[in-house]
Amino acid sequence: MSTETITATTDALRQARIAVLGYGSQGRAHALNLRDSGLDVVIGLRPGGPTSAKAAADGFSVLTPAEAVQGADLIAVLTPDMVQATLYNEVIAPNAKPGAALLFAHGFNVHFKTIEPRYDIDVVLVAPKGPGALVRREYEIGRGVPCLFAVHQDASGQAREKALAYAAGLGGARALLIETDFKEETETDLFGEQAVLCGGASELVINGFETLVEAGYKPEIAYYEVMHELKLIVDLLYEGGLAKMLSFISETAQYGDYTRGPRVVDAGTKDRMREVLKDIQEGRFAREWTAEHAAGLPNYSAYKQKDLDHPIEQVGSRLRARMPWLSSGA
Q: For residue 104, give the 3-state DSSP assignment.
A: strand
Q: Is 189 annotated as a binding residue?
A: yes
Q: Is 116 annotated as a binding residue?
A: no
Active-site residue, selected from the candidate residues 30, 106, 111, 152: 106
Q: Is 61 annotated as a binding residue?
A: no
Q: Is 26 annotated as a binding residue?
A: yes
Q: Is 28 annotated as a binding residue?
A: no
Q: Is 46 annotated as a binding residue?
A: yes
Among 52, 114, 124, CA closest to 83: 114
Nearest-angstrom CA–CA distance, 212 and 179: 45
Nearest-angstrom CA–CA distance, 222 and 165: 49
Q: For residue 71, give the 3-state DSSP assignment.
A: coil
- What ranges in the chain are assigned the alpha helix state H? 25-36, 52-57, 65-69, 81-87, 93-95, 108-111, 132-140, 159-170, 182-191, 199-214, 219-223, 230-248, 251-264, 267-281, 284-294, 298-308, 311-320, 325-328
Is there a contact between 123 and 152 (Cβ–Cβ < 8 Å)? yes
Strands ordered across the beta sheet of 40-44? 62-63, 40-44, 17-21, 74-77, 101-104, 122-128, 147-153, 177-179
* 266: amino acid identity, one letter: D
Q: Is 25 annotated as a binding residue?
A: yes
**Number of residues assigned to the chain:** 330
Any bridge partners for residue 323, and if so which?
Answer: none
Q: For residue 23, give the 3-state DSSP assignment.
A: coil
Catalytic site includes residue 106:
yes
DSSP 254-289: HHHHHHHHHHHS-HHHHHHHHHHHHHHHTTHHHHHH
Report residue 145 CA to chain centroid gap: 13
Q: Is 328 annotated as a binding residue?
A: no
Binding residues for NADP(+): 23-26, 46, 51, 132
Q: What are the binding residues?
A: 23-26, 46, 51, 132, 189, 193, 225, 229, 250
Catalytic residue list: 106
Binding-site positions for substrate read: 250
Binding residues for Mg(2+): 189, 193, 225, 229
